[in-house]
Chains A and B, each alone.
Chain A
Amino acid sequence: MHISEGVLSAPVLITGAMVAAVGVGVGIRKLDYDRIPQVAVLSSAFFVASLVHVPIGFSSVHLILNGLLGLLLGWMAFPAILIALFLQAVLFQFGGITTLGVNTVVMALPAVVCSLVFRSGVMKGEGKKSMIFSFLCGALAVFLAGVLVATALMSTGKAFFPAAKLIVVAHIPVMAIEGIITMLCVRFLKKVKPEVLEVSHGC
């Protein structure tokens, strides 16, 4: 879901950068000392996830893990994703420096939205219910990211619906995989380190 340099027009890039700045600001506000290692670990998970490639005939998609980041970090997903994207742009030439803001918003905003929507369901739900909510959180975050990419591409003169359809269809396998990964991670954390999930992201 990295938009390359030279695709988007300046107003879109600037808007993206501004929204990203706000998100990162909020995220850093909420970042307390004890959570820093967790943010770093998830930031590196996000950084590496883009290398896990999911083959789908006509194009190339990869894992994103933004749903998981949102669920575990809330607003702090913004700085985590920004740093990971910056390093991906510099080291892998994925995306680009000018599109850093837009790409951050594309992936971090759905993360925050999904965490707000599903968090209480995941925390309070018992057993299966919690699993279903975490699956939805992982899958929906990817879906929303696809919709945001399509929105950003509208500025290049592409019609919204065909672009959105293409991106979303291409990411169906990713949604399924991410849903499962998020589910497994939540199940794992609930057993091993439940306090990670219980700390409110609104602290």
Chain B
Amino acid sequence: MAARSVRKGEKGAEGSCVTRSRVLEIVGLMLLLLLCSSGPAFAHKVYVYAWSEGNTVFTESYFSGGVKVRNGLIQVFDASGKKLLEGHTNSKGEYSFQIPEKRDLKIVVNASMGHRGEFVLKREDLGETAASEGKKEPAVSVQKTASKAPEKVDMAQLKRMVEQALDSRLRPIAHSIARLQEKKGPGLTEVVGGIGYIFGIMGLLLYFRSRKK
């Protein structure tokens, strides 16, 4: 009670005190607003990421900060720019398709409002499609084992098998490493750097203009 009455007295006595508290109030409100709205998600760029498993290419599209692109248009082009297929992402931002041709694929996502992202899936990263290599090998190896010296053939076959097994085992790891390397949005460095640039430009302008005067 006592404290309150004292404060009241102060307010009455000094007008500037009122404005100052108002100012604080407004600044506080704005800070709060900024904090509330920034949240975990951060800004404004579309990423699309793709990997292949067997015959299928999986893609994932998201805005920087991780909001998934829902119902975004995915278009797949080959290296020469010919459109191979298109489709829409589901509610998790995912879209998958059968590999149409085994060559470099450019995957483009068009989210609404002029947002666009792309990802190039290299031919090498498409993996062994069951149709092309997987079937050929056993046939060859059967012939080989039948005709040639068993030891040598075993080595070659073994090598392939190990490579294949490693490939399939390592693919998820490669995938998650790639995901980790994906840039999710600007960091503090870029933000502070940008503000620095703007003030640097300001300094330059002020400097040159002041010399003129």
Q: Which of A72-89 contact B (CB under 8 A)?
A: 83-84, 87-88
Assess A59 versus B194: contact at CB under 8 Å? Given A51-B42, A184-B30, A191-B22.
Answer: no
Q: Mark B185-207, 1 if CB is under 8 A from A, else 0.
A: 11000110111011101100110
A62 at the binding interface (Cβ < 8 Å): yes
Total residues of chain A contacting the partner, CB 8 A: 52
Q: Which residues in A have their C-beta under 8 angstroms from that of B205?
A: 36
Interface with B: A3-11, A17-25, A120-128, A132-140, which one?
A: A3-11
B198 touches A60 (CB 8 A): no
Q: Which residues in B have their C-beta under 8 angstroms from that of A1?
A: 113
**CA–CA, A184 to B30, complex, Å?**
8
Q: Which of A170-203 contact B (CB under 8 A)?
A: 170, 177, 180-181, 184, 187-188, 191-192
A130 at the binding interface (Cβ < 8 Å): no
Shortest CB distance A2–B (Å): 6
B159 at the binding interface (Cβ < 8 Å): no
B112 touches A166 (CB 8 A): yes
Q: Which residues in B have their C-beta under 8 angstroms from that of A84?
A: 194, 198
Chain B, interface residues (CB within 8 Å), range = 35 or more
B34 touches A52 (CB 8 A): yes
Q: Which of A117-159 contact B (CB under 8 A)?
A: 149, 152-153
Q: Mark B5-26, 1 if CB is under 8 A from A, else 0.
A: 0000000000000010011001
Q: Which of A25-60 contact B (CB under 8 A)?
A: 33, 36-37, 39-40, 43-44, 47-48, 50-55, 58-60
**CA–CA, A91 to B197, complex, Å?**
11
B112 touches A48 (CB 8 A): no
Partner of A62, one of B43, B111, B112: B43
Residue numbers of B with Cβ under 8 A of A are: 19, 22-23, 26-27, 29-30, 33-34, 37-39, 41-46, 63-65, 67, 69-71, 110-118, 183, 185-186, 190-191, 193-195, 197-199, 201-202, 205-206, 209-210, 213
Offer 15 A-B interface pairs, CB within 8 angstroms, sorted by A. Answer: A8-B114, A36-B206, A51-B38, A53-B44, A55-B37, A60-B65, A91-B191, A94-B43, A149-B114, A153-B113, A170-B112, A177-B37, A181-B33, A184-B26, A184-B29
Further contacts, 19 of them, CB under 8 A, given A6-B118, A53-B37, A170-B112: A6-B116, A8-B114, A40-B198, A40-B201, A44-B195, A51-B185, A51-B186, A53-B38, A53-B39, A58-B70, A59-B111, A61-B44, A62-B43, A88-B194, A91-B191, A92-B185, A153-B114, A166-B113, A191-B19
